[in-house]
């Protein structure tokens, strides 16, 4: 029987621990605060930001919301970032992506104070992750890769010496998870596959673990995995369900693969809730470091 890696259940446990840690911080006169900067009214972004603030309420973290219209200029957005950098009530914050067309997203991210980078995606923090192969790391970690690793750890799945095939080279997880998986504490061997990879399906068939983050619905098929593989589905596609008459979220891994797997994270309900929990964890850890 395959094990379902339940991100909802694990994230609920993590939130319970974070709530207790927040109470201890407040007893010392420290109240963690998460800021969000939302530009425009993209429905997906609006919903995602609302979810982050609902999570904050659940664990006792202060919510700090900044919103700008879709026609905001680069200077307007930069000014809002600087305000959050300087706001003592804001422990950490995120700039919700994507930003409107014509805005240089990397330039905006560069303006975030690395010590307040709740997503763990500032170039300084990514550089610290590159440097610290051994021992602890005192800078915020990228939320989605951290969520994958924490979800596996919650089910006592040891990655030491495992062959991990990562599908997709996006900055959110594809390019960053290899840095975390190959740290001494995890000790996995990683193959990063992308559109230029020859025989990608052969790489998958050799892997002990597949982390699929392509945004290509159902790309991984049962014949692409070996018996007993561990499947982490991170890709998100909106696929129209003709029977239901609406769009549904579908992952990169065909559900028919589950019968061959030792363990799998469903999509939705797997890595997504873990990503949100890791954002809260980053903010609480920032406050604790203060």
Q: Is 96 a catalytic residue?
A: yes
Contacts of residue 221, Cβ cutoff 8 Å, sequence gap at least 6? 254, 256, 257
Residue 244: band (very low, low, confident or very high) from pLDDT cuts 50, 70, 90: confident
Nearest-CA neighbor of 64 among 92, 45, 41?
Answer: 92
Q: Where are the domains of the chain?
A: 28-122, 143-273
Instruction: Domain 143-273: state its class.
Output: alpha beta
Entry pTM: 0.94
Question: Is the pLDDT reported for residue 271 higher than 80?
Answer: yes
When pLDDT is averaged across residues 111-137 and rounded to a whole number, the result is 95
The answer to whether the Cα torsion of 168, 172, 175, 177 is positive or negative is negative
> Cα(234)–Cα(83) distance, rounded to whole angstroms?
33
Within 10 Å of residue 98's Cβ, how many Cβ atoms? 12
Task: Find the catalytic residue in 15, 55, 116, 119.
Answer: 119
> Cα(112)–Cα(290) distance, rounded to whole angstroms?
18
Hey, what are 78's tokens?
Answer: 């930069």
66 and 82 Cβ atoms separated by less than 8 Å: no
Q: Please tell me the predicted confidence (pLDDT) of residue 185.
A: 94
Q: Please tell me the predicted confidence (pLDDT) of residue 240.
A: 79
> Cα(146)–Cα(123) distance, rounded to whole angstroms?
17
Residue-wise pLDDT for 148-183, tens only, equals: 999 999 999 999 999 999 999 999 999 999 999 999
**Under DSSP, is residue 164 helix (H, G, I), strand (E, B) or coil?**
strand
Task: Find the catalytic residue in 15, 96, 116, 250.
Answer: 96
* Strand order from edge to edge, sheet including 33-39: 62-68, 33-39, 92-95
Share of the chain above pLDDT 90, in %: 92
Residue 248: band (very low, low, confident or very high) from pLDDT cuts 50, 70, 90: confident
Q: Is 116 a catalytic residue?
A: no
Nearest-CA neighbor of 77 among 43, 100, 48, 45?
Answer: 100
Q: For residue 107, which phi and psi values (nearest 5 degrees)?
A: -65, -35
Task: Find the catalytic residue in 52, 116, 162, 250.
Answer: 52
When pLDDT is averaged across residues 2-14 and rounded to a whole number, the result is 97
Q: Please tell me the predicted confidence (pLDDT) of residue 239.
A: 83
Residue ranges at the known binding site for NADP(+): 168-170, 236
Q: Is 233 a catalytic residue?
A: no
Contacts of residue 170, Cβ cutoff 8 Å, sequence gap at least 6? 213
Residue ranges at the known binding site: 168-170, 236
Residue 200: band (very low, low, confident or very high) from pLDDT cuts 50, 70, 90: very high
Residue-wise pLDDT for 29-42, tens only, equals: 999 999 999 999 98
H helix and E strand count, the chain? 9, 11
Q: What is the dihedral of CA 230, 234, 238, 239, to 10 degrees?
A: -10
Architecture of domain 28-122: 3-Layer(aba) Sandwich (3.40)
When pLDDT is averaged across residues 38-61 and rounded to a whole number, the result is 94
Q: Please tell me the predicted confidence (pLDDT) of residue 130.
A: 95
């Amino acid at each position: 029987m395959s094990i379902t890696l339940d991100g909802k259940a694990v994230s609920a446990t993590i939130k319970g621990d974070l709530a207790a840690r927040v109470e201890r911080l407040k007893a010392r006169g420290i109240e963690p605060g998460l800021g969000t900067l939302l530009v425009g009214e993209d429905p997906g972004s609006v919903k995602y930001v609302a979810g982050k603030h609902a999570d904050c309420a659940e664990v006792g973290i202060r919510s700090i919301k900044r919103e700008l219209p879709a026609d905001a200029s680069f200077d307007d957005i930069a000014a809002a970032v600087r305000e959050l950098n300087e706001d003592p009530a804001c422990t950490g914050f995120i700039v919700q992506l994507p930003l409107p067309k014509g805005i240089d997203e990397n330039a905006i991210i560069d303006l975030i104070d690395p010590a307040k980078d709740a997503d763990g995606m500032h170039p300084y923090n990514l550089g610290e992750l590159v440097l610290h192969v051994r021992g602890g790391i005192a800078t915020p970690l990228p939320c989605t890769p951290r969520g994958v690793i924490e979800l596996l750890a919650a089910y006592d799945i040891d990655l030491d010496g495992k062959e991990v095939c990562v599908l997709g080279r996006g900055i959110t997880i594809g390019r960053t998870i290899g840095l975390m998986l190959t740290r001494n504490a995890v000790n996995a061997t990683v193959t990063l596959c992308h559109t230029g990879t020859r025989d990608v399906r052969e790489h998958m068939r050799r892997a002990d673990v597949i982390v699929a983050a392509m945004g290509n619905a159902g790309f991984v098929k049962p014949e692409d995995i070996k018996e007993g593989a561990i499947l982490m589905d991170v890709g998100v596609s909106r696929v129209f369900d003709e029977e239901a008459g609406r769009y549904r979220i579908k992952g990169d891994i065909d559900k028919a693969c589950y019968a061959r797997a030792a363990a799998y994270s469903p999509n939705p309900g797997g890595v997504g809730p873990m990503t949100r929990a890791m954002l809260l964890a980053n903010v609480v850890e920032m406050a604790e470091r203060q």
